[in-house]
Structure 1
Amino acid sequence: MSFKFNFCIEEAEDCSVECTGLSDPKEEKPENSMQLSGDKEVQMKLSTKNKEKGIALNSCFCNSDVLDDSNMSKDKAEEKTVCCKPAIEHKIPQDVNEVMENKIVEQTSGLQFVNVSVVEMTLSNEDLHGENIVSKTVTANSDLISGVYEGGMKIWECTFDLLRYIEDEDVSFKGKSVLDLGCGAGLLGIVALRRKAREVHFQDYNSTVIEEITIPNVLVNCDSSDENGDVTEEPSEKIFKKPKTHAGLLSKCRFFSGDWSNFTLLMQNQTPSVKYDIILTSETIYNPNYYDAMHDLFQHLLADNGTIYLASKSHYFGVGGGVLLFETCIKKGNRFNINTLKTHDDGLQRMLLSLSFKDC
């Protein structure tokens, strides 16, 4: 499998208003995206709750392009919030073998995953989820389209840096609640699952990614005999016939799509509200416009003694994000300690970071 790093951000064409300070700045038309409800009133209620809880809109200390409520009416502010993608939970399929239809599985050391090219070809012939992300990326000639598609169908390089760190340092997940944030292929969450995490939640911006990539990948890894889930190599081109799959460890998993602000709100509204012992995330700080929503998510969803493991390139050319700017954002918030765990200097510099609450 080859890795693509052409971080060319294209703006969504179908949304005329901008979501400044939220996790995704633009969104497509409602008829072309998976909705929490067809009723716009439901989304307006989510907007109100976002404001009441102080999520994103009232914490724009990281983004210089701050939403200025003094120059904007209440209606327009709410219109900006509605523009963002609702967070929804995806049901675990009853017939797990049906999920693997038209899928080809690749293998690397200890892990299996569906061949993305085959998935893209299938989706280009028939759009099953209403997002049309394959045709849009082809048209835009980009692996990222801000507010439309956030790169979840690719396995990005830094994911393997974090997987190796987990193996080398023998990071313990036993009995812990884990979030794979911006999960894409879900490899980080799968390793946590196989290292005996109590539960693992997978979150990605796109419903298509969750349904066509993440859930199938969890399925094909559920019955593997390698319980440690160690990964030391990047994917090979070896392709083999898909195995018979069973629900297995799926009972410990939940799957979500949507923007980070609404995902945070959804988890806070659970009974009891959700807190994660460990949050794993890779290549998610490429766009500074998303830092506020990420900070709020960490602040509200990380357990008091929890740890965040983050893998990133030092800088994302053409997008503006990177480790230095992200660290500046975190330090301004004054809620987290941030430490550098490892730096890789081969090629474009890559870094592994950890975050935890101060005074914990």
Structure 2
Amino acid sequence: MAFQFNFAIDGAEKLERVCKTDESLGFRDNLAVPDNKEESVRQKTQLAVPEKQQQQGMHAQKATSDIATSNQEIKEPESAEKQSCLKIAKEHSVPRDVSGVLEKKVMEVMPGLQCVSVSALEVSLPDSNRHAEDIVSNTVSSQSDLISGIYEGGLKIWECTFDLLNYLADKDMQFVDKKVLDLGCGAGLLGITALKRKAKEVHFQDYNGTVIDEVTLPNVLLNSDIEAKGDNRDPYEPGSKRCKKSSAIQGLLSRCRFFSGEWSQFSQLVQNEKYDIILTSETIYNNNYYSALHSTLAALLDRNGLIYLASKAHYFGVGGGVHLFEKFVEARNMFSVKTAKVIDEGLQRFIIEMTFKNIT
């Protein structure tokens, strides 16, 4: 099966999606919850209540379990197991011979933008010995697009990414001389847009190194000649030919850096960096990650910087969403949050803007 997206990134033309059913376009609506989730919450509750109350039988246990479930909507702390399995962050180097990056890749051609075909990639990755993460096999065996601590959905292009691309196009957002972070980048479409709009520097971050090597970097290379040649190039010209070591391509790549790893680890790795703009899409689906995300944004955003975050109102199964995240942020009194756009097609979706509060 295949999908087609027709959109214009440059100018104020609105990005429009024409979509056939396709596994490469993900929807973080119904996400599987681990079978032991309810039992884990029950165990935490039993440890938290007085010993006498624990001995009052099944009715007391059910009551305290319901209280714990209600409290979980505010903040559920990460388990000790989760904290001990943080994926160490690292920077990915760009190969000297970039033509090899696109070997055996199938491309999706769109007006103004090109992408690696994720459907084709998912077929080829299990036969490759280049990556130890083995994320495709894990997702197949678990029948889930998200596996906490193993794979966080970077091979999919999630729906709200297109919402944010639309918003940037509608506002004719300029990135001239800005330092930009595409956080939880996946395919890297948001960061690529910033590059096309003359960003001074763009950093791409995703949880999985496989995503960076097999999707993000190839997508940057596929679109690296747009700035130099415009859209008059032949879109069917072989990728390896278009990605020779020209000065234009090397100049573009010199403005990019690529990272993988868990957010708290990543923020430590780049602790001296400050970003003028942080772009992120569908990264608040799991409230277990809110603390790490909030700390990362606070550590890396420039004091006068701006965050654009795209998300659904609610994510069924894992319980996150815009309203819950806004409550989390407001309780910490560090950021101001403003709703920039509401999309009412299907499940309600939001674009929100975040800036530092002027705290004296």
Same fold (TM over 0.5): yes
Aligned equivalent of 1:157: 159
Letter in 2 for 1:245: C
Aligned equivalent of 1:85: 87
Report if aligned partners of 2:334, 2:357 keep a CA contact under 8 Å in 1: yes
Return the alpha-carbon distance in structure 2 between the equivalents of residues 127 and 11 of structure 1.
29
Residues 350 and 239 (structure 1), Cα distance of their counterparts in 2 relative to 1, 3 Å cut: farther
Please list the CA deviations of residues 129-154 of structure 1 after superposition, one character each: whole Å capped at 9, or x if unmatched: 10010001111111111111111011
Return the alpha-carbon distance in structure 1 between the equivalents of residues 212 and 89 of structure 2.
12
Shift of 1:67: 6.5
Aligned equivalent of 2:31: 8
Return the alpha-carbon distance in structure 2 between the equivalents of residues 318 and 208 of structure 1.
26
Are residue 287 (structure 1) and residue 309 (structure 2) matched?
no
* Greater Rg over alpha carbons, structure: 2
**Could you tell me which of 171, 174, 178 is aligned with 2:173?**
171
Aligned equivalent of 1:65: 76
Are residue 95 (structure 1) and residue 97 (structure 2) matched?
yes
Aligned equivalent of 2:16: none
Residues 267 and 349 (structure 1), Cα distance of their counterparts in 2 relative to 1, 3 Å cut: same
Shift of 1:81: 4.1
3-state DSSP of counterpart to 2:226: coil
Residues 106 and 303 (structure 1), Cα distance of their counterparts in 2 relative to 1, 3 Å cut: same
Residues 182 and 227 (structure 1), Cα distance of their counterparts in 2 relative to 1, 3 Å cut: farther
Please list the CA deviations of residues 235-272 of structure 1 after superposition, one character each: whole Å capped at 9, or x if unmatched: xxx9875352143311100000000000011111xxxx
Aligned equivalent of 2:256: 253
Residues 9 and 261 (structure 1), Cα distance of their counterparts in 2 relative to 1, 3 Å cut: farther
Are residue 131 (structure 1) and residue 133 (structure 2) matched?
yes
Shift of 1:160: 0.8
Report if aligned partners of 2:105, 2:121 keep a CA contact under 8 Å in 1: yes
Report if aligned partners of 1:63, 1:292 keep a CA contact under 8 Å in 2: no
Return the alpha-carbon distance in structure 1 between the equivalents of residues 301 and 255 of structure 2.
19
Return the alpha-carbon distance in structure 1 between the equivalents of residues 229 and 194 of structure 2.
10
Shift of 1:225: 4.6
Return the alpha-carbon distance in structure 2 between the equivalents of residues 256 and 11 of structure 1.
28
Report if aligned partners of 2:74, 2:324 keep a CA contact under 8 Å in 1: no
Please list the CA deviations of residues 65-86 of structure 1 after superposition, one character each: whole Å capped at 9, or x if unmatched: 3379xxxxxxxx7x86442000
Return the alpha-carbon distance in structure 2 between the equivalents of residues 150 and 12 of structure 1.
18
Gaps of 5+ in 2: 4-21, 37-71
Report if aligned partners of 2:196, 2:227 keep a CA contact under 8 Å in 1: no
3-state DSSP of counterpart to 2:175: coil
Shift of 1:274: 0.4
Q: How does 1:110-259 map to 2 (within 5 A)?
A: 110-225=112-227, 241-242=238-239, 244-246=242-244, 247-248=249-250, 249-259=252-262
Report if aligned partners of 1:62, 1:332 keep a CA contact under 8 Å in 2: no
Report if aligned partners of 1:162, 1:352 keep a CA contact under 8 Å in 2: yes
Larger deviation: 80-89 or 219-228?
219-228
Aligned equivalent of 2:346: 347
Letter in 2 for 1:244: R
Identity of aligned pairs, percent? 54
3-state DSSP of counterpart to 2:289: helix
Return the alpha-carbon distance in structure 2 between the equivalents of residues 12 and 356 of structure 1.
38
Aligned equivalent of 1:266: 269
- Structure showing greater relative contact order (alpha-carbon pairs closer than 8 Å, 6 or more residues apart): 1
Alignment size in residue pairs = 293
Letter in 2 for 1:214: T
Return the alpha-carbon distance in structure 1 between the equivalents of residues 89 and 188 of structure 2.
18
Report if aligned partners of 2:225, 2:242 keep a CA contact under 8 Å in 1: no
Shift of 1:64: 3.1
Return the alpha-carbon distance in structure 1 between the equivalents of residues 351 and 289 of structure 2.
19
Report if aligned partners of 1:10, 1:146 keep a CA contact under 8 Å in 2: no
Return the alpha-carbon distance in structure 1 between the equivalents of residues 323 and 306 of structure 2.
20
Letter in 1 for 2:259: F
Letter in 1 for 2:26: K
Shift of 1:104: 1.2
Letter in 1 for 2:202: V
